[in-house]
Amino acid sequence: MNKNFGRKLEIGPTDRTSEQRTPESPLFLIPEAARESFVPYVTDLPVPRAGENDLTRIAPGRPLAEGDRIEVFGRICDERGRPIRGALMEIWNANKWGRYTHVDDPARQPLDPNFIGIGRVMSDDNGEYRFWTIEPGAYLARPDIGRWRPKHVHMSLLGGSARLVTQMYFPGDELLKKDPSFYLLGDAGERHIAVENKSDQEGFKAAYQFNIVVGGRNATYFENE
């Protein structure tokens, strides 16, 4: 062992743990390419088909879902602002009344037969994505203690072996102030509130911009970290 290299923390006279943990060789930087775990998604599954990013109706020609139609768009980039292309984004949100189309949702709010509330889209060459959905309702997440969740859209990103899950919130939502999940974000919470724009599509209430940063100081918070 090269005892001249690296730090050596003494623990006790009979304890060799420190020596065993001291590097024997100089450290070297792992090449950047090998450090990037978030790379374009490669899958045997079919890529999203046209229309999978439109949650406002179940299929072309079917009736519109109830509620306000909204656009959600943004850019996915790494810590240096480089676009992340080909990331598979999955989205899901509650319906207008705050109810998920899921067997485990105990809410007594109505289901909408024209709204499933799940969709997929792949980021393009500029790292950009766009989808259309119904503005979700807030919901009573903990009836036992009367805790509501603010309106939000869940998002999952798949890239390489990594899956990142986050939530987008809506500006001006009073419930944000009382939401533990949002509160825990601290100052980073602001980055998780979408920016509201006017939609240039007829019949749409608004276009919300939500950019996602993977890694670095301005990283989007991912629930599975």
Q: Is 192 a catalytic residue?
A: no
Q: Which two tokens stand for residue 138?
A: 């807030």
Cα angle 152, 55, 38; round to 5: 65
Backbone angles phi, psi at 212, to 5 degrees: -120, 130
Token pair 């499933």 in the structure block, residue: 116
Q: Which two tokens stand for residue 63?
A: 């009736």
Catalytic residue among 41, 57, 75, 139: 139
Catalytic residue among 41, 100, 169, 208: 100
Tell me if residue 71 falls in helix, strand or coil. Answer: strand
Catalytic residue among 57, 69, 75, 154: 154
Sign of CA dihedral 156, 101, 109, 73: positive
Catalytic residue among 149, 169, 192, 208: 149
Q: Is 100 a catalytic residue?
A: yes
Query: DSSP H helical segments within 26-161, as ranges?
Result: 32-35
Q: Is 152 a catalytic residue?
A: yes
Q: Is 208 a catalytic residue?
A: no
Amino acid at 176: L
d(CA 117, CA 94): 6
Catalytic residue among 57, 69, 75, 152: 152
Q: Is 149 a catalytic residue?
A: yes
Active-site residues, by number, are: 100, 139, 149, 152, 154
